[in-house]
Amino acid sequence: MCDTMVALAAATADGVTLFAKNSDRPPHERQVLEHVPSRREDVTTTTYLTIPGPDGPTLAVAGSRPTWMWGMEHGVNEAGVAVGNEMIFTTDDPRQAPAALTGMDLVRLALERSGTADEGVATITGLIERHGQGGSGHDHDDVPYWSSFLVADPTTAWVVETSGRTWEAEEVTATRAISNRTTIPAFDALHRAARQATGPFVDPRWEACTGALGERPVTEAGLRRHLRRHVGGDEGWTVCMHVDGLEATTASVVAALPPDRPPVARLLLGSPCRSVYVPLRVGEAFRSPDPERFAALTDDDRPALAALEAELDAALAAHDGPGWNDEALRRVDTALTAMGR
C-alpha cells in the first residue's frame, strides 16, 4: 500500500512543484536513505533481471530503498525528476508472470535514466514493453503485482498505470493523487479487477489525499502534515499506516522541484507520525543513516522530533554553500543520540 501526490507549480504557495509519497510496506522491513552517484555501466543488474545499461552516464539520485532489493520506493534525481510507484491489481494475474522488472526497479531506472518527466514516462513504458514486469515485491512472501507511477519534474507530471506489458499515461493538469488502484478512467474501465480492494482499504486514503491537494495553495509543510495524519480508513488503514503485522508506513518523502536550482528531497525513515523529515540536497553525496534508529522512535519522541525538524528547516534556509547534507545528518545523529536512539 502507498499514497503518492503531486502539485504543479501553479497550485503551490511558492510556485514550485511539490511531490510527496508515503511508502507502506511490511512492518518488519527496513528502508535505507541512499545517495546513488552518477556512473557508467554496460549492464544494469536489477532485483531479478540483468538488462542493458544506458547509453550515457546515469543521473545521481537520492531516494529510499528497501534493503533487500535493487529498486527504490521513491526518489528524486539531480535533474529534478521525482518518481514513486503504487501496487495495483488488474484483470491480468501477476502470479503468472516470470520474474522480471518490479515496480521499484522501474522507479530507480526512471530516476537514473531520465532528465525530464516525459523521459521518465518513456523509460518506464519502454522497459515494460521490452522486459516485462514480474517477481515478488516483498522479501518474505511471494507477492507479485503491477504498478502505477507518478512521475514529476519542475513543470510537468504524469500518471502511468500498467497491467503486465500494457500501459496508459495521463498528464497532470494541476494536482493529482494516486493510490493502490487504477485511476485513469479509460484504463480503469478496461483493467479494474475484483482483487483491487478499492472500497475499505484504498478509496478513503485516495479521497483524503485528493482533498488535501484541494486545499490551495498547496504547501510543503501542509503535505508533511497530511502524510502524518491517521485519516482515510479504519483499523490502521490510514494515510500514515499502522496495521499490526501486515502494513505500515516505513518511509516517506516530500520534495520541492524548483526549475532553477538543485531539488531538495525531505526524506523520512520509519513512521511519519513519529519520525523526522530530513531535507537533503539532491546530487550532493551523503552517508546513509542507520534505519534501525528511526524504527526505534516512539510517540514519546514526538516533541523532540518536531523541534529537530524546525531546526533543520531553519538551518537549511541559512546554509548556502556545499556540505549541507553532512551537516543535516550530523544534526539528526546528535538529536537521536540525545533521545537514546
In a domain, 199, yes or no: yes
In a domain, 304, yes or no: no
In a domain, 189, yes or no: yes
Residue 77's φ and ψ, nearest 5 degrees, are -105, 175
In a domain, 103, yes or no: yes
Neighbours of 45 (CB within 10 A): 11
Name the residue with cell 539532491. Answer: 282
> What CATH number has the domain bearing residue 103?
3.60.60.10
In a domain, 308, yes or no: no
Q: Which three cell numbers stand for residue 23?
A: 511508502
**Structural domain boundaries, residue 134:** 2-291
In a domain, 303, yes or no: no
The DSSP line for 13-25 is TTS-EEEEEEEEE
- Which residues are catalytically annotated? 2
Number of independent structural domains in the chain: 1
In a domain, 218, yes or no: yes
- For the question of whether the overall pTM of this predicted structure is more than 0.75, the answer is yes
What is the CA angle 175-31-169, rounded to 5?
A: 30
pLDDT by residue for the chain (341 residues), tens only, comes to 899 999 999 999 999 999 999 999 999 999 999 999 999 999 999 999 999 999 999 999 999 999 999 999 999 999 999 999 999 999 999 999 999 999 999 999 999 999 999 999 999 999 999 999 999 999 888 999 999 999 999 999 999 999 999 999 999 999 999 999 999 999 999 998 876 667 788 999 999 999 999 999 999 999 999 999 999 989 999 999 999 999 999 999 999 999 999 999 999 999 999 999 999 999 999 999 999 999 999 999 999 999 999 999 999 999 988 999 999 999 999 999 999 99
